[in-house]
Structure 1
Amino acid sequence: AGGRGRRPGAGLGLAAAVKLTPALFLVFLLATGIAARLRGGDGEPWLRHARGAAITFTGATLLAAAALPKDSWRFWTDTVFRSDRVGHAEDTADQALRGVLARLLHTADPGAVWTACAAVVAAAGLAVAVAAELRGMRAWAVCCCAVTALLVSPVSWTHHWVWCVPVVLLLWSRGHRAAALGAALVFCSYAPWWVPHGPARPELHQSGAQMALSALYAGAAALFLVAARAATSLPGRRRGSALRQAVTKE
């Protein structure tokens, strides 16, 4: 965030325009910049990237609307609000928080419960990511933001969890070998597919053990956020303040 690129945030803006989930990184940049200013530092490096991402996202979206006005109108006024268009919420392949709640509550639409839980998880996950970024622990910050985005997204299929690779590498490289091996085992086990699934929608009638298996990805993600919170709180793990570095660069 402290770089001086000619088009800061452009890549993020384009990614969010193609698929909305990365847009949480824009919120992360904005929150980090504000937090830096509240601490008496210069939050401009993060805010500059947030502005660049927002401008690029808006430009790309308007360009798409000009090229495909009917499709864009349908998407932004209807399709974007219908997450069930890609599949049932309770499908075992859905490892987002919404899917976990759907199976836990035995309902196809967790509704307000999911909205409230997603808001809490988003706030908590972003808080951990911002804290890590301001302490110069950028790898932790990026992984925390990505994992949070996957958790709060309406749908996160099992193949969306490619962020497990950098998460495992981060845990291993920071000396958390047992946690890294455990995470690798979870994401390589295909455990969510061990439970009954199919057109008959048996996921709406899972037992406790089956619900646990079909929530392993999301559960591992939640545990990673807890581990990241602990890692960013230990005085001995301080690697230099990103806030101080940003001020120096400016």
Structure 2
Amino acid sequence: MAEVRPNPSGLIVSVQAPEGSPMRHPDVIAAMAEASLRNGARGVRLESPEHIGAVRRRCPDALIVGLWKRSFPDSSVYITPGWQEILAVWGAGADVIALDATERVRPGGEELEQLIGRARRELGAPLMADVDSVANGLRAAALGCDWVGTTLYGYTEATAALSPPAWKLLPLLRQQLPPGVSLVCEGGIASPQQVRQALDQGADLVVVGTAITGVDLQVAAYVQACC
């Protein structure tokens, strides 16, 4: 596993594929992750224990931000929503566990504060808070999250009318986050120029997914342009 240094900087590539895509095979995910790392990515963000394990075996020294998307009927939270998902992501070999840190009700009534405390106490796991607002980012940092990311800006009920990237959040979070907490810009970054913009606005790390590894969505967009 990789050493998670304080305030890392650079590019994190989100290597994910939608359900039903041939790109979702663990070997394909691992190959894309290795290609990203070979070309200078600081680390990769991966979904599901299966994919985390595949990349860990192929790239033993990779910095892996891991999560597990699971849907439940009693909650709209789906990014590593509960303790069992946290355990599975950590056990598969993630270096940092990403989880939804919004104010929404979690499946089964689990509480964010208890989940963060348990992960720190029992696992010693570094945590990335996926948030949608400045308030939720500051709360997550106060609860013990090491990284705060703008991942869910535009994707929660409270921010559905907004579109990422979360340019307005970055300078505010940079100004108010405690020293030592890394700020991550994630969501809607579609060009190298936007990566530079995010870093200039205070991000330590920038996560890029669809624009690099989203073959299904990228091809569909180009085909649509032909119609």
TM-score range, shorter chain: under 0.3
Q: Is the radius of gyration larger for structure 1 or structure 2?
A: 1
**What is the TM-score of this pair, normalised by structure 1?**
0.23
Q: Which has the higher contact order (CA 8 A, sep 6+)?
A: 1
**What is the TM-score of this pair, normalised by structure 2?**
0.24
